[in-house]
Amino acid sequence: MNHSNKPKGTSNGKGDSEQLFERYEHIRRIAFQNTLRLHFKRAAWVTVVRTTLLAKRLIDIIASVLLLMLLSPVFLACAIAIRRDSPGPIFFKQTRVGRWGKLFPMWKFRSMYMDAEARKKELEKLNEMNGGVLFKMKEDPRITKVGKFIRKASIDELPQLWNVFVGDMSLVGPRPALPSEVNQYSLAERRRLEVTPGITCIWQVSGRSDIPFDKQVGLDVEYIESQSLWLDFKLLFLTIPAVLLGRGAY
């Protein structure tokens, strides 16, 4: 009768404890490799995002400077027209909410009479914007004659190129809201504050004021979740016909 010389509880000359140690050592190596791979992917993703944001900022600076210089004759003509049309300043400064809730002064060419804000309460019941957060009227009596033209042509928004230059805004991004509007936002709607606001956005080239507020929010969230330089260039290109046609501008 042959008897095995291997000690009981061993396999191939290794004890159970040694096999168990090797098994868990293998698991630790796999876990370390997976952790390393995860950190590498995270670092790569952060690098891509930061590089994209830096490129977006550089484009904003260069484009805003060039446009401010090229459009200076338009600025001058608009300033003269506003001054002759109605008494008051040429520019209109309004506090808006930027990224992460930061307040900043947003600039526009003045398109309303000086008592516009005081008259707003009388007109609130005539609000034509669905949702109740924004106030819009197609035939707003507070708008001046020149104001109607520069709004239709989006010329009143041109001073926001300065906001883009200083970094409060970007060429592309959700439109900056008033503090009073943000106070009415739901938790989901506050996602609009996750990115730098812009001069143009998806709903600006898709119908502007004709689009109800909840749809505007949905389109802004869609932009936030899929933003890229390619999408920004696409929206800037689509802004040209949107401005020329003037659909939804009032």
Nearest to 148 by CA among 162, 137, 158: 137
Residue 249: per-residue pLDDT? 62
201: pLDDT strictly greater than 60:
yes
Q: Could you give the CA distance from residue 161 to residue 244 in angstroms, rounded to a whole number? A: 19
Q: Could you give the CA distance from residue 160 to residue 32 in angstroms, rounded to a whole number? A: 50
98: pLDDT strictly greater than 90:
yes
Binning pLDDT at 50, 70 and 90, where does residue 14 land? low
Collapsing DSSP to helix, strand or coil, 113 comes out as coil
What does the pLDDT look like over 33-90, one tens digit per residue? Answer: 777 777 777 777 667 767 888 999 999 999 999 999 999 999 999 999 999 999 999 9
Q: What average pLDDT does range 181-205 have in this prediction?
A: 90
Strands (DSSP E) found in the chain: 10-11, 14-15, 91-97, 103-109, 170-172, 198-200
Domain limits of the chain?
63-245
Selection from 76-80, 115-119, 151-155, 177-181 with the highest mean pLDDT: 76-80
Share of the chain above pLDDT 70, in %: 82
Share of the chain above pLDDT 90, in %: 47
Selection from 48-52, 123-127, 189-193 with the highest mean pLDDT: 189-193
Residue 15: per-residue pLDDT? 62
The torsion defined by the Cα of 81, 82, 84 and 90, in degrees rounded to 10, comes to -130
- Higher per-residue confidence, 14 vs 38: 38
Q: What is the mean pLDDT of the chain?
A: 84
175: pLDDT strictly greater than 80:
yes
The torsion defined by the Cα of 73, 148, 196 and 164, in degrees rounded to 10, comes to 10
Contact 221, 123 (CB under 8 A): no
Q: What average pLDDT does range 210-237 have in this prediction?
A: 88
Collapsing DSSP to helix, strand or coil, 81 comes out as helix
Q: What are phi and psi of 127, to 5 degrees?
A: -55, 130
Selection from 24-33, 145-154, 204-213 with the highest mean pLDDT: 145-154
